[in-house]
Amino acid sequence: MENIAKRLREGDMVCIEMSFGVYNGMVVRNMPDGRVLVLISDLLRILNVEREELFTIQECRERQIAPRV
C-alpha cells in the first residue's frame, strides 16, 4: 500500500481512524521520515501512517467512514 503521507501537503484535510474513533484533521507538516503532523480539534498529533489509518477526505467518503466532530 502506498504511503499516503507522500501525497499529502500542508493544509490538506484528512480523516484519521484511531482505536478510539474517526476524526477529521488538517496536515500541519509532512515530515521527511514518512510521518505527518496533524491538527485534530486543537490538538497536535504526530501520526505514524503505518500504525494509524489515515485517509484523505475523499477516501473517507468512498469508504463511508464517518468522522466524529
pLDDT of residue 68: 56
Is residue 25 included in any domain, yes or no?
yes
CATH number of the domain to which 17 belongs: 2.30.30.520
- Model pTM above 0.85: no
* 69 assigned to some structural domain: no
> What are the grid coordinates assigned to 38, written together?
496533524
pLDDT of residue 1: 39
How many domains are there within the chain?
1
Which residue segment(s) compose the domain that 46 sits in?
Answer: 4-63
pLDDT, position 58 = 78
Tell me, yes or no, whether 68 lies in a domain.
no
The pLDDT tens digits of the residues spanning 36-47 come to 888 887 565 655
Residue 32 lies in a domain: yes
pLDDT digits (tens, 9 = 90+) for 12-42: 888 877 777 778 888 888 887 777 888 887 5
Residue 8 resides in a domain: yes
For residue 49, tell me if it sits in a domain. Answer: yes
Evaluate if residue 69 carries a pLDDT over 50.
no
